[in-house]
């Protein structure tokens, strides 16, 4: 009889547990021994599955970056739709990524600076590109007279800031479902941007 396949690969299990620890204690303050204990094995054994502590961080940060880009691309696929609609969908997609895995999101948002070069610079370039996508969408909305804001860059920054605070207070077992939260955030943030309310 073959042994039952593990529900998740050991590597994925390590990533998941490490992500939770990185979020709770920070990357630098999380030790590989702590991680190993949490997984029920010895510190040295981790290295049969991963190459280094930073490799985990790298996977988490760049994996989430992909998710954010994919969400934005899907939200803005229909370029004929009103910009306000595209923006609303982009906000909801962003919130969906944040709530699907808020631990990984928190690591993505706060622990990336422990990446060593060149990964750190590459990561920041991705993040800048993502912010620029929102900024440009808002700019197009202003040009089309669908949105109003004194400064598109400012508006994009505060919009993403509001959304990115979510992992700090979101509880998966809270009263509001991820979709409720996404709708409410989109509603409130667009409320300040829409030309005719």
Partner DNA sequence: CCTACCGATCGGTAGG
Residues that bind a second copy (CB under 8 A): 25-29, 110, 113-114, 149-151, 154-155, 157-158, 160-162, 164-165, 169, 184-185, 187-189, 191-193
For DNA, which is the closer residue by CB, 9 or 162?
9
Closest separation in Å from C-beta 28 to DNA: 8
Q: Residue 110: which residues within 8 A CB-CB, separation 6 or more?
A: 26
CA of residue 24 relative to chain centroid, distance: 16
Q: Which of 26, 44, 174, 192 binds DNA (CB under 7 A)?
A: 44
Closest separation in Å from C-beta 181 to a second copy: 9
Picked from DNA, a second copy, none, the partner binding residue 191 (CB below 5 to 8 A depending on kind) is a second copy
Residue 176, φ and ψ in degrees, nearest 5: -90, 135
For a second copy, which is the closer residue by CB, 42 or 179?
179
Task: Check binding of 49 to DNA (CB under 7 A).
Answer: yes
Looking at residue 190, the DSSP 8-state letter turns out to be: H
Closest separation in Å from C-beta 45 to DNA: 3
For DNA, which is the closer residue by CB, 43 or 74?
43
> How many C-beta atoms lie closer than 10 Å to residue 118's C-beta?
9
> How many C-beta atoms lie closer than 10 Å to residue 90's C-beta?
22
Picked from a second copy, DNA, none, the partner binding residue 34 (CB below 5 to 8 A depending on kind) is DNA
Closest separation in Å from C-beta 10 to a second copy: 27
Closest separation in Å from C-beta 35 to DNA: 8
CA of residue 73 relative to chain centroid, distance: 15
**Neighbour-count burial for 168-186, b at 16+ CB within 10 Å, e otherwise:** eebeeeeeeebeebbbebb
Q: Residue 167: which residues within 8 A CB-CB, separation 6 or more?
A: 98, 102, 103, 105, 106, 109
Site of interaction with DNA (CB under 7 A): 10, 30-34, 36, 40-45, 47-49, 51-54
């Amino acid at each position: 009889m073959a042994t039952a396949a593990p529900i998740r690969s050991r590597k994925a299990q390590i990533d998941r547990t490490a992500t939770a620890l990185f979020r709770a204690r920070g990357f630098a303050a999380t030790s590989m021994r702590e991680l190993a204990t949490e997984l029920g094995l010895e510190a040295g054994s981790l290295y049969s599955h991963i190459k280094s502590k930073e490799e985990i961080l790298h996977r988490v940060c760049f994996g989430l970056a992909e998710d954010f880009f994919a969400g934005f691309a899907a939200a803005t696929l229909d370029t004929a739709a009103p910009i306000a609609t595209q923006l609303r969908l982009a906000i909801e997609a962003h919130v969906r990524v944040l709530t699907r895995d808020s631990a990984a999101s928190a690591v993505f948002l706060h622990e990336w600076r422990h990446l060593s070069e060149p990964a750190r610079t590459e990561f920041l370039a991705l993040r800048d590109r993502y912010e620029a996508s929102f900024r440009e969408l808002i700019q197009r909305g202003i040009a089309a007279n669908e949105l109003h804001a004194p400064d598109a860059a400012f508006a994009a920054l505060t919009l993403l800031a509001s959304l990115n605070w979510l992992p700090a207070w979101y509880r998966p077992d809270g009263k509001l479902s991820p979709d409720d939260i996404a709708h409410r955030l989109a509603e409130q943030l667009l409320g300040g941007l829409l030309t005719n309310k």
